[in-house]
Every structure is written in structure tokens, then in C-alpha cells.
Amino acid sequence: MNYIIEGLINGILMGSIYGLTALGLTIIFGVLKVINFAHGSLLMVGMYVAYWAVSLSGLHPYLTLVVVVPVMYLFGYYLQDIVIKPIFKAEREVREPITVIIVTTGVWYILDNLTLLVFGPQYRSIQDNPLRGKMLEFGEMLISVPKLWGFFAAIITAGSVYWFLQKTRTGRAIRATSLDRDAASLMGIKQYRVYNIAFGIGTATAGIAGVTLVPFYNVFPTVGVLFDIKGFIIVVLGGLGSIGGAILGGIIIGLIESVGPQFMAATWTEAIVYGLFLLVLFVKPSGLFGVRYDW
């Protein structure tokens, strides 16, 4: 029984981190109405920024947030402004320009291969990591401390983003643009600036997810692909554009991966995840927590 409870707890903790990795993806979709195929690569960049910040300065892994968040926000802001915005302007009559998907796929390959060229294929981990292997013991149960901190980071980040979108002037502008960008423009909202901000926020949340992963996960050029696939499954499961759905969808995946192997082969848990993904697409394409409107 203890093993099942331990699996449930660790599944929730890891699932919340999955949800955090998908949060930026769902924010970008909610506003720009396009899938960002480079999201996993942006997560990878965030992990490398956190890794090098720790290695070069000796900062505690979580203190690298003061470096990672602004760097990733600016990276996402100007990536949208320089690379993606011209496509929106060229296809302004199209609500969901397919060309953006092609461009973000190109950004994915460029970032992964550029990182491979600069840093090599080596798997890297933080040396002298104060959190490596650290566990909380509750009787016979062991709870990972880095994953526990990741859970708190996911909840705080999701809550902060939701508050920002609901309570601030810029957040209301983002919501208005997500619902009807033409009407928002007529009200004086600069839609392309809103797109830049939304993309920056989505990229910054990917950076936060990268910081939570670095204490217990290796950093390498293609690490983003692993979380990119899960991110797409989570946002479809939880509901595209739903902040709470991203976290809850991630927890569902985390529970399946953590508890499933105690009753069946690990390969079957992957089959269950993909089967659930297909089932949701067929039965409720808007996702389990999808709503009529995006926000």
C-alpha cells in the first residue's frame, strides 16, 4: 500500500512539472492561435541557461530564476517580434496561419542543432548539486525534494499567470486579443505587441520549468523533444488555452507514468498515455477542461 501512495505522490509532483512545461505552450496557443513546435527547444535553452548560471557563478539552482526568467522572456519576445510577426502581418486575414507552424518547426531544428554544435552531445548535470538525491522520508515512503519544489513552482507560476491575465491591464489586453484580435485593435490595443508579450511569457514559463528540471535531470541538446511530445499531449488533454487544464493534464500523465508500472510493464503505460490522447481527440477535442472561450 505504501508503494502505491508513494507512487501517487511522486506522480502528482512529476506531473505538475509536466504541466509547467506545457503551460507556456498553452499560453502561446491561447493568444496567437498557433502551436509552437519550438517550445521544447525553448525549454532546453532555459535548462542550459540555468546550468551555466550555476556552473559559472555557483548560484543555488533555484536562484538562477533571477537570470533565467528575464533572459527567456526577452528571448521569446524578440523571437516573436523578429521571426514570427512578419508572418502574421503577411497573413493578417488568416486567424491561424499554418506558416507559423512551419517556421516554429524550423526554429526547433535550428536551436537544437546550434546547441549541439556549440556545446556538443554530452549529457551534463550540475556538479556539487545540493539537491541531488535528496529525499524526504515518511516511514517507508521516499519523496523527491527537487520534484516537491517543482510542484510548488508549477502551482505558483500557474497562479501568477492566471492573476496577471485576470487582474492587470496588460493581462486584460492579452485576453481581449485572444478572443478577437481585430476588435481589440479597434479598441486601441496593439495586437503585435500583445503577441510579443504573450510569447515572452510563454517562453519564460518554459525557462521556469527548465530550472525545476536541472537539479535532477540531465541537460543535452535534444532534451526538449522528450518534453515537447508530453507538452502537446497535455495541452490537448487539458484543453488548448486552459491554464488549469495544463497543470491538471500534466498531473494525470504523471500519475499514469508513476502508478502504472506497479501493475504492468512500463511500455504499457506509454500506450495508455497515447491511447488517452487519442480518446480525448475523438470524444472531446476541446480537452477535458476546455471551455467555450480561450481564457
Q: How far apart are CA 189 and CA 191, in angstroms?
A: 6
The model carries a pTM of: 0.91
Determine the 3-state secondary structure of 94 from DSSP.
Answer: coil
State how far the Cα of 99 lies from the Cα of 249, in Å rounded to an integer: 28
Calpha distance 162→170 (Å, rounded)? 12
Does residue 84 have a pLDDT over 80? yes
95 has a pLDDT exceeding 70: no
Lookup: cell for 88:
502574421
CA–CA gap between residue 110 and residue 210 (Å, rounded):
19
Task: Report which of 18, 21, 23 is spatially closest to residue 241, judged by C-alpha positions.
Answer: 23
Q: Contact 250/11 with Cβ under 8 angstroms? A: no
> What share of residues in the chain are helix, strand, coil (percent, to 5)?
75, 5, 20
The torsion region of residue 134 among left (phi > 0), alpha (psi -120 to 50) and beta comes to: beta
Give the residue among 177, 191, 190 at the shortest CA–CA distance from 241. Answer: 177
Q: How far is it, in rounded angstroms, from Cα 267 to Cα 252? A: 17
Site of grid cell 523571437: 79
Identify whether the C-beta of residue 40 lies closer than 8 Å to the C-beta of residue 111. no
* Three-class HEC string of 30-71: HHHCCCCCCHHHHHHHHHHHHHHHHHHHCCCHHHHHHHHHHH
Residue with cell 548560471: 53
**Percentage of the chain lying above the pLDDT 90 cut:** 44
Cα–Cα nearest to 16, from 280, 289, 243, 286: 243
Of the two residues 58 and 116, the one the predictor is more confident about is 116
Q: What pLDDT is attached to residue 94? A: 65
Report pLDDT digits (tens) over 13-60: 999 999 999 999 998 888 887 888 899 999 999 999 999 999 888 888
Contacts of 218 (CB under 8 A, 6+ apart): 123, 124, 125
Beta strands in the chain (DSSP E): 135-138, 141-144
Q: What is the mean pLDDT of residues 162-168?
A: 91
pLDDT at position 1, please? 64
Q: Which CATH number fits domain 2-283: 2.40.128, 1.10.3470, 1.20.1050, 1.20.950?
A: 1.10.3470
